């Protein structure tokens, strides 16, 4: 299972948000570029990057994002405010390994399905769920889709993955989050990447045994230091089945 160390940017700084609340970010006093390099040095094969300014239509982080893509040493899966084909192609040309699309997919699914066919294995669908509905506009607006219907609408699109986030559940209710994610993973044709469910290595251990879960985003736990990236990567490695010895 792939571990995606996750960085979220707001006004040029690394942050984490409580259920997408931009008014009260937790700010981490670290250098974003050096932190990204640290992910690679620890052994990560990918990283995930979300630009919260771009979610609001503000391109002020673009130069920093480009610097991270260029300097990280691992491919970057980029999300945040990518709501047109032109914006997606801009970041692909800048070297992003994958582009994460949510709001555009909810409003213009045909365009996103076409984009996925044109860039196979480079487009990731974001399914952000709250109250049984897919949320758009950076978790601020309820869309017209149920998560099941949203995933079914793209069953023939060659996505690199589908990121599922249960916004509704508090981090203390990981069982509910795992239930939602595992249910959606059963319906998805593309591999599912879980988001928002990792506090400790034990959570990664449980995710390993859910069918069609190909990876997990790990951000807050790394910055909170409840989990190291080295621990996360080691836990995610395939475990050899025990072999009986015959005498």
Question: Which positions are catalytic?
Answer: 8, 128
Angle at 93 between CA 89 and CA 96, to 5 degrees: 90
Distance CA 44, CA 80 (A): 21
Instruction: Using alpha carbons, list the distances in angstroms from residue 223 to 71, 96, 167, 218.
Output: 20, 23, 20, 9
Cα separations in angstroms, 95 against 75, 213, 218? 8, 26, 22
CA 127-7-153 angle, to 5 degrees, is: 15
* 161-166 and 192-195 beta bridge pairing: parallel
């Amino acid at each position: 299972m792939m571990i995606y160390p996750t960085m979220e940017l707001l006004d040029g700084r690394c942050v984490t948000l409580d259920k997408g609340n931009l008014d009260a970010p937790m700010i981490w006093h670290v250098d974003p570029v050096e932190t990204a390099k640290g992910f690679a040095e620890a052994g990560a094969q990918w990283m995930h990057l979300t630009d919260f300014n771009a979610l609001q239509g503000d391109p002020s982080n673009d130069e920093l994002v480009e610097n991270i893509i260029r300097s990280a040493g691992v491919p970057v899966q980029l999300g945040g405010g990518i709501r047109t084909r032109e914006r997606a192609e801009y970041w692909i040309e800048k070297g992003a390994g994958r582009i994460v699309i949510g709001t555009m997919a909810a409003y213009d699914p045909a365009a996103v399905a076409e984009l996925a066919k044109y860039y196979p294995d480079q487009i990731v669908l974001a399914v952000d769920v709250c109250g049984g509905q897919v949320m758009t506009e950076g978790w601020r607006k309820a869309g017209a889709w149920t998560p099941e219907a949203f995933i079914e609408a793209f069953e023939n699109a060659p996505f690199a993955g589908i990121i599922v986030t249960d916004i509704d559940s508090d981090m203390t209710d990981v069982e509910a989050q795992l239930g939602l994610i595992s249910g959606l993973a059963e319906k998805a044709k593309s591999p599912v990447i879980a988001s928002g469910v990792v506090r400790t290595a034990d959570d990664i251990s449980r995710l390993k045994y859910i069918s069609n879960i190909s990876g997990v985003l790990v951000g807050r736990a790394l910055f909170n230091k409840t989990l190291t990236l080295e621990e996360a990567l080691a836990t995610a490695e395939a475990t050899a089945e025990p072999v009986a010895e015959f005498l």
